[in-house]
Amino acid sequence: MSSAEDVRQVVDLAVTTMRQGAPEAWQAKAGSLDWTCWETAEHVANVLFSYALRFGLAKPPTSGRVPFRMRSDRDDGPPTIFSADPASGPEGLLTILEGCGGLLASVRRTADPTVVAFHGYGPSDSEGFAAMGVVETLVHTHDIAQGLGVEWSPPSEPCEKVLGRLFPHVNADGDAWEVLLWATGRAALQDRPRLTEWRWYNRS
């Protein structure tokens, strides 16, 4: 079960890792994505914020999204609710990312466990949204680390938790981080080719 501490730990480790990247590297492509490292980090911050905001509502929507006005700075970029001020540089971007992680961690700690909210992969409780936030942070930090040219090797426990919660269809035998990279289409395993399509499954 993904906890508030898991969200906080993974986001803190991700921010620490990204801080190692050179400022000029942030416009490089993030791994195999079409987004830059900057855009990908903004996407993670937006996801964490939007997950947390659902549980600020007395009655979160269970059949549709919160009506944000989404926009993208370029045709192939990720749609966002908000953007970091480019003048603040990578440190400003990472401040926003860390803060959004803190919001989701707080929601996970305080939300009514019986309340569920809408997600495209099925309604979920706050524990499920915490797990989704952990997955988004883990795998997109992998993408960003490739673009920045830094190392990213997260601890196994949060990987094991999200595999059990969101990927019940996946054989989780082996190194949990490697299995999660395979389950999210980012790497091949010795006995499994790289996936071209993938998803997780919410259950509350």
Structural domains for the chain: 4-183 (1.20.120.450)
pLDDT of residue 201: 92
Burial class of residue 31 (count of CB atoms within 10 Å of its CB; 0-12, 13-18, 19+): middle
Q: How far apart are CA 156 and CA 154, in angstroms?
A: 6
Buried b / exposed e along 80-103 (16+ C-beta atoms within 10 A): bbebbeeeeebeebbebbbebbbb
> How much is the pTM?
0.95
- Kindly tell me if the per-residue pLDDT of 126 is higher than 80: yes
Kindly report, residue by residue over 24-75, the tens digit of the pLDDT. 999 999 999 999 999 999 999 999 999 999 999 999 988 888 888 999 988 8
Mean pLDDT is lowest, of 16-25, 127-136, 193-202, for: 193-202
pLDDT of residue 204: 57
- Kindly tell me if the per-residue pLDDT of 199 is higher than 70: yes
pLDDT of residue 64: 83
Model confidence at 115, pLDDT cuts 50, 70, 90, reads very high
- Kindly tell me if the per-residue pLDDT of 203 is higher than 80: no
Give the residue-averaged pLDDT of 85-91: 96
Model confidence at 191, pLDDT cuts 50, 70, 90, reads confident
Kindly report, residue by residue over 128-150, the tens digit of the pLDDT. 999 999 999 999 999 999 999 99
pLDDT > 70: percent of the chain:
100
- Kindly tell me if the per-residue pLDDT of 154 is higher than 90: yes
Give the residue-averaged pLDDT of 5-13: 97
pLDDT of residue 135: 98
